[in-house]
Homo-oligomer: A and B are copies of this chain.
Amino acid sequence: MEEESQIIKGKYAADISSIKEAHDRIKSLILKTPVLSSASLDAMSGRQLHFKCENFQKGGASNAVFSLNDEEASKGVITHSSGNHAAALALAAKLRGIPAYIVIPKNAPTCKVENVKRYGGQVIWSEANMRSREEVANKVWQETGAIFIHPYNDGRILSGQGTISLEFLEQAPQIDTLVVPISGGGLISGVALAAKSINPAIRILAAEPKGADDAAQSKAAGRIITLPETNTIADGLRAFLGDFTWPVVRDLVEDIITVEDSEIIKAMKLCFEILKIVVEPSGAIGLAAVLSETFQKNPAWKDCKHIGIVVSGGNVDMAVLWDSLKK
């Protein structure tokens, strides 16, 4: 065990030391989110499920912003994001008292754009494709000199996300398996690096929409695969792995469980009706994965008894939720 921890140390864009440093830096800025459980959902899944409610978290980008020195921070921060990173960065910048320039593609959910504005972020629109996002962000960078903070392909982001595992495994130390949504891989990489250092025997499983299964394809191919297009209700899970996150996913994530949008919607409804929490499709995918046939029928996961599910974003347009739930 010692050996594996040592291997992890220094090999990737974050490690247990950078994650513990991040935790010391941000613990007064973030919410220690609760862990919920439900006898009904345990019965449905045949396991004991522990839900880490990061959908309540608003301080998700605090480590990236607060690890800048004063000179770096003075000109502000930039990102391009359609999602929760955008709002989290705006909030962290507000707390630090610096500007946040947020490039948002035109197809972003309304509620996520509103959150950016609520936290005082300056919204700059781009087209919906990644090339336009990057071009616009680059232009803003040239004009402002602000520091670019990528939504996931950034060691500071990984370290911040890793703090979730520090809390989660303290709150529910019996966890033997973690199920985490995968998009660009920032969340699962941080979570995996910390969790594997604390308990090398823990299993890390990713949950991914079938309509954006680049991570599953990447694992199968042994290299980063990107897709010409994605098609899923989980707007937070459409990004592709980056060179900082791929090595962690390749080495530490045991499997990628892909699920249909219909399974995601069903899980979102269960979160709403049984756990009484508001989650977006991306946030509910971990539960969808655990309830899926793919997971339930795989003998490799038969002895996953205590499953920790990271519930990520809670930003869902009511109209979208309603349209999904009434189906």
Contacts and interface: CB of A to CB of B under 8 A. Distances in A.
Given A40-B118, A277-B276, A278-B278, A325 B318 contact: yes
Given A34-B34, A118-B40, A276 B278 contact: yes
Contact of A36 (B56, B111, B322): B56
A293 interface: no
Say how many copies of this protein the assembly contains. 2
A318 B278 CA distance: 12
A111 B273 contact: yes
B276 A318 contact: no
Given A276-B55, A277-B276, A278-B278, A318 B314 contact: no
Contacts of A278: 272-273, 276-278
Contacts of A53: 34, 276
Interface residues of A, number: 26
Contacts of A56: 36, 275-276
Contacts of A118: 40
A272 B322 CA distance: 13
A318 B40 contact: no
Contacts of A275: 56
Interface in A102-123: 111, 118
A139 interface: no
A111 B276 CA distance: 12
Interface in A121-179: none
A56 B277 CA distance: 9
Contacts of A40: 118
Nearest to A313: B276
B318 A322 contact: yes
Contacts of A318: 272-273, 322, 325-326
The 4 closest A-B pairs by CB, nearest first: A34-B34, A276-B314, A276-B278, A322-B322
Given A36-B56, A56-B276, A276-B314, 6 more contacts: A31-B37, A40-B118, A56-B275, A276-B278, A278-B278, A318-B326
